[in-house]
Amino acid sequence: MKLARKLNAFDATLIVAGGIVGAGIFRNPSVVAQRVHTTPLILGVWIFGGLVAIIGGFVFAELAWRRPASGGLYGYMRDAFHPSVAFMYGWTALWVSQSGGMAAAAVTFAAYLMPLFGGGLAPWIPAAAVILVLSAINCFGVREGGTAQNLLMLLKIAVIAALIVGGVVASPIAHHAVSVPPLPAMAPLAMLSMFGAALVPVLYAYDGWQTAPFMDGELKDTRRTLPIGMVLGVVIVIVLYLGVTVVSVRVLGATGLSATDTPASDVMRAAFGPLGERIIAIGVALSTLGFISNQVLTSPRIYYAMATDGLFFKSLAWVHPRSRVPLVAIGVQAIVAIAIAAWGRYDQILNYVTAMDFIFLGLAAIALFIFMRRQGASPEERGVRVPLHPWSTAFFILVSAAVVINTYVAFPKESLIGLGILLSGIPAYWLWRALRAELPTIAAG
């Protein structure tokens, strides 16, 4: 049984934005400040990240136009390179990137919510509970899961808008909050390395636009709705993120921002007192649910596509006859995400997820060159195009490569864990192929 096409361009836009906006924007401004220390660099890193995100959004918009029903990034890897590359992407998505993103959001949910209720539970326990609840909701159907994620995305927009307004009306906490610290004097290579380290949490916060194409089998008129959603969703996120960054620096200053793990709460406390702090804490905790819901909605479609291609357990391709969703794939995703949440801290998860994501984002941009060479396009059928291609697409590839390299240099332990899982996909793929080849023989015997 096939998946049901019930989602439109509005859904696609909110799925794109919902796949990007998670816990990162409420926490990562402080991580960035800890790594670059000055107001110009803090703002510069977020602006640069927005530029990368919009180019990436256009890259995936054109990929969606050229390959409208291929299963998203998994299908792009399969069709441009080899099924083994697609398998490695799905393998790392399950064990690292997608599950890790869910785990990071769930851990942040627990970090913001638990202090409000004075709970003494380990953070992974409420994180696991929320993953299970949202997974259960998505088992009822794609329309139900899409509606839940849309409502939570609109809630996130409202929370971020309230934070920006609070940052505008609040008085700076200290004099240094409105000053502009000078750029540190250091060698160019050291400055570049520092900028690159700060770019990791920024690109993690912007990361996620690539998840919407996983839903191309459940979108109406995919060739039109998905490119619209890709571009509009990314633009909405850039505006929101830059607003949060500006008000965070304005109220807390570079030094104050680097000294806190909950900058959103600090800004709202400065604006509205203890009540504002509690309101934003609840809002941030609830808004992380939208990101988790988005991942529960989109990520299992990767494993569904792998199983449909015969590259993963057949049960993952099973679609419930009434809800028309891949129930087993949703359940497997939930189990792995809970395990990661119980294993790691937020910053550890962030580092190894970002490195893995940008390996395949860079490969997706290379895949665009491959598809363009194979397919071409007449002038009247050019459709969606990346602005300033090929230079912008090449820039995106270079940035992706630089992010991966810098992450391995700056955070070798977490990054090597991700690399080990990525490389384990090679023997896993060939073992799976060998087992598939043996099964007919065994059955015949």
pTM: 0.82
The pLDDT of residue 177: 43
Measured between alpha carbons, how far is 168 from 247 in angstroms, rounded to an integer? 6
Q: Does the domain spanning 9-436 belong to CATH 1.20.1740.10?
A: yes
The pLDDT of residue 117: 65
The pLDDT of residue 377: 54
Measured between alpha carbons, how far is 325 from 306 in angstroms, rounded to an integer? 15
Residues 6+ apart with CB under 8 A from 398: none
The pLDDT of residue 140: 77
Q: What is the CA radius of gyration of the chain?
A: 21
3-state secondary structure the chain: CCCCCCECHHHHHHHHHHHHCCCHHHHHHHHHHHHHCCHHHHHHHHHHHHHHHHHHHHHHHHHHHHCCCCCCHHHHHHHHCCHHHHHHHHHHHHHHHHHHHHHHHHHHHHHHHHHHHCCCCCCHHHHHHHHHHHHHHHCCCHHHHHHHHHHHHHHHHHHHHHHHHHHHHCCCCCHHHCCCCCCCCCCHHHHHHHHHHHHHHHHHHHCCHHHHHHHCCCECCHHHHHHHHHHHHHHHHHHHHHHHHHHHHHHHHHHHHHCCCCHHHHHHHHHHHHHHHHHHHHHHHHHHHHHHHHHHHHCHHHHHHHHHCCCCCHHHHCCCCCCCCCHHHHHHHHHHHHHHHHHCCHHHHHHHHHHHHHHHHHHHHHHHHHHHHHHCCCHHHCCCCCCCCCHHHHHHHHHHHHHHHHHHHHCHHHHHHHHHHHHHHHHHHHHHHHHHHHHHHHHHC
| Parts of the chain with a pLDDT under 50 | 175-180, 378-380, 440-445
